[in-house]
Chains A and B, each alone.
Chain A
Amino acid sequence: MTQPRTLYDKLVDSHTVRRLDEEGRQVLLYVDRTVLNEYTSPQAFTGLREAGRDVFRPRSAIAVVDHVNSTRPDRDALRADRANDAQMSYLQKNCDDFGIELFDLFHSQQGIEHVVMPELGLALPGMVIAAGDSHTTTYGAFGSLGFGIGTSDIEHFLATQTLVYTRLRNMRVEVDGALPVGVTAKDIIMAVVRQLGADGARGYAVEFAGSAIGNLSIEGRMTVCNMAVECGARGAVIAPDEKTFSYLADKPRAPRGALLEKALTAWQSLRTDPGAAFDAYVEIDAAAIAPMVTWGTSPDQAAPVTDVIPDPAHETNDARRRDAERALDYMGLAPGTRLRDIAIDRAFIGSCTNARLEDLRAAATVLQGRKVAPGVAAAVVPGSSEVRRRAEAEGIDRIFIDAGFEWRQSGCSMCLAMNDDVVAPGERCASSTNRNFEGRQGAGARTHLMSPAMVAAAAVAGRLCDVRSMEASHAG
Chain B
Amino acid sequence: MRAEPFTRKSGVMAALPAANIDTDVIMPKTFLKGIDRSGLDRGLFHDLRFDENENPRPDFVLNRPPWNEASFLVTGANFGCGSSREHAVWGLRQFGIGAIVAPSFAGIFFDNCARNGLLAIEASDSQVGILIEHAQAGVGEVTIDLETQTIATPERSFHFDIDERRKTMLLNGLDAVGMTLQWRDEIETFQSRYLADHDWLA
Decide if B1 is an interface residue (CB 8 Å cutoff): yes
Decide if B139 is an interface residue (CB 8 Å cutoff): no
Docked Cα-Cα span, A209 to B175, in Å, equals: 40
Decide if B108 is an interface residue (CB 8 Å cutoff): yes
Q: How far is the CB of A424 from chain B (nearest CB, A)?
A: 12
A437 touches B24 (CB 8 A): yes
A28 touches B183 (CB 8 A): yes
Decide if A70 is an interface residue (CB 8 Å cutoff): no
- Interface locus among B5-13, B60-68, B150-158, B186-194: B186-194
Chain A residues with CB under 8 A of B186: 17-18
Contact count A vs B, C-beta below 8 Å? 185
B33 touches A83 (CB 8 A): yes
A439 touches B25 (CB 8 A): yes
Docked Cα-Cα span, A425 to B176, in Å, equals: 42
- Please give me the residue from chain B that is nearest to A438 by CB atom: B25
Query: Of B1, B36, B108, B187, which contacts A161 at CB under 8 A?
Result: B187
- Please give me the residue from chain B that is nearest to A256 by CB atom: B200
B187 touches A17 (CB 8 A): yes
How many residues of chain B are within 8 Å of chain A by beta carbon? Answer: 57
Decide if A401 is an interface residue (CB 8 Å cutoff): no
B interface footprint on A276-303 (CB within 8 Å = 1, 0 otherwise): 0000000000000000000000100000
Q: How far is the CB of A301 from chain B (nearest CB, A)?
A: 10
Decide if A39 is an interface residue (CB 8 Å cutoff): yes
- Please give me the residue from chain A that is nearest to B180 by CB atom: A160
B interface footprint on A86-101 (CB within 8 Å = 1, 0 otherwise): 1100100000000000
Q: How far is the CB of A270 from chain B (nearest CB, A)?
A: 12
Q: How far is the CB of A229 from chain B (nearest CB, A)?
A: 9
Which positions in A face B, CB cutoff 8 Å?
A: 15, 17-18, 20-21, 26, 28, 30, 32, 39-40, 42-43, 46-47, 50-51, 53, 56-57, 68, 83-84, 86-87, 90, 124, 126-127, 132-134, 147-153, 155-156, 159-162, 164, 166, 198-199, 202-203, 232, 234, 255, 259-260, 262-263, 266, 298, 319-320, 322-323, 326, 416-418, 425, 435, 437-440, 443
Q: Can you list 18 contacts pairing A with B, beta carbon distance less than 8 Å?
A: A21-B165, A26-B165, A124-B200, A134-B84, A150-B108, A150-B111, A150-B115, A155-B177, A162-B187, A164-B165, A198-B19, A198-B81, A199-B19, A199-B77, A234-B107, A255-B200, A435-B22, A438-B47
